[in-house]
Amino acid sequence: MPPAFPLQPDVIPPRSGSIVILTGAGISKESGLETFRDAGGIWSQVRLEDVATPEAFARDPVRVHAFYNMRRARHRTMDIKPNAAHHAVVKLQQAWPGGVTVVTQNVDTLHDEAGTKDLIHMHGTYAQARCNFCDAVVPRLGDLSVTDICASCGKDKGMRPNVVWFGEMPLHMERITAALRDCALFISIGTSGSVYPAAGFVTMVKRSADAHTVELNLEPSQGATLFAEAHYGPATQIVPAYVESLLQSL
């Protein structure tokens, strides 16, 4: 089916060139999940200092668990499913000869559910729990609580969502840096470009690789001027359209 939203890319990378896609909360918005910094978003409802730092967890773990239990339950019970943008990313990955690595800042599991391969959850996922004492990671789809006991080390009070909070080191940075260093095309989808190190990837790519850079977003992000090309509109329209236009070049 032709894309409902035709779109002409400025530059088509060589078919043997690899692609890195960075995604943020905007790609999951039309699936029914909230973004952080848009009007009415998560950070307008709760202070990040109260729920998204290791200090917050040390001070009030019950509150932090309630925040993530609520988001996990919303995903589970509100029939949240991957949308056309998540599926378009998979389509590109299946067809692009040079390979596509997907780096997501999102802690939801919509890319996984869409069938994305070579997927890096740089901020972890709320579908896993991690022990603060021994670092054991286990799947967790239901609620977490301070009374949970780690199956590996047997301690209580240490199980936390396996997500990266402010002040913590994002995950898999070596793998991400290697993918960015080699890529021919960097595509940023639905992220405000306000949280580092992800916000700096576009600059890293321009410095280390002779890569083309594209922003796909509802509106210009904080880092919009850093990108060579941009297309604006809802992710469910512009991502499938952009992917179709790349695939037509093959």
**Sites of contact with ligand BJW (CB under 6 A):** 24-26, 29-30, 35-38, 41, 52, 105, 107, 123, 163-170, 173, 190-192, 194-197, 217-219, 221, 234-235
212 belongs to the catalytic site: no
How far is CA 135 from its chain centroid?
Answer: 22
Question: Which of 172, 175, 103, 168 has the alpha carbon at shortest distance from 132?
Answer: 168
Comparison of 142 and 197: residue with beta carbon closer to ligand BJW: 197
Comparison of 184 and 231: residue with beta carbon closer to ligand BJW: 231
Comparison of 194 and 208: residue with beta carbon closer to ligand BJW: 194
CB of 136 to ligand BJW, least distance (A): 19
CB of 196 to ligand BJW, least distance (A): 4
Which tokens belong to 166? 């402010």
Which tokens belong to 67? 């925040």
How many residues comprise the chain?
250
Where are the strands (E) in the chain, listed by range? 19-23, 100-104, 119-121, 124-131, 137-139, 159-163, 185-189, 212-217, 229-232
Q: Annotated catalytic residue: which of 123, 172, 212, 231?
A: 123
CB of 151 to ligand BJW, least distance (A): 23
Catalytic residue numbers, as ranges: 123
